[in-house]
Amino acid sequence: MKNIYVGNLSSSTTETSLRALFEPLGAVSKISIVSGRSFGFVEMTNDSEGMNAITALKDKVLDGSTLTVNEARPKRERN
C-alpha cells in the first residue's frame, strides 16, 4: 500500500477527477480530499505503481493547478 500526498489542488478538483488521473497508473483503493483545503491523499494498493504515479504526476496540471505529488509522511502525534 502506498499513501500519496497530492497538494495544490484546485477548488474545482473532485475525488472523481483525482481518481481519473491516478487510475491509469495503477489500482487506487481510496481517494480523500481534505475539505476546505487544497490537498488530499490517494492510496494505491501496489507500492511500485504508487511510486511510478508519484514520478509521472509530479508537476502535472489538473483543473488549472500544478500539483505537488509525493509520498505521504506519517501523521505526527500531537501533545
Pair 6, 41: CB distance under 8 Å? yes
pTM: predicted TM-score of the whole model, two decimal places: 0.91
Pair 20, 5: CB distance under 8 Å? no
Percent composition of the chain: helix, strand, coil (DSSP 3-state, to 5): 30, 35, 40
pLDDT of residue 79: 63
Domain spans in the chain, listed from the N-terminal domain onward: 2-71
Task: List, for residues 3-61, the tens digit of each pLDDT value.
Answer: 999 999 999 999 999 999 999 999 999 999 998 899 999 999 999 999 999 999 999 99
In CATH, 2-71 is 3.30.70.330 = yes
pLDDT at 76 over 90: no
Tell me the torsion sign for CA atoms 7, 17, 27, 51.
negative
pLDDT at 1 over 80: yes
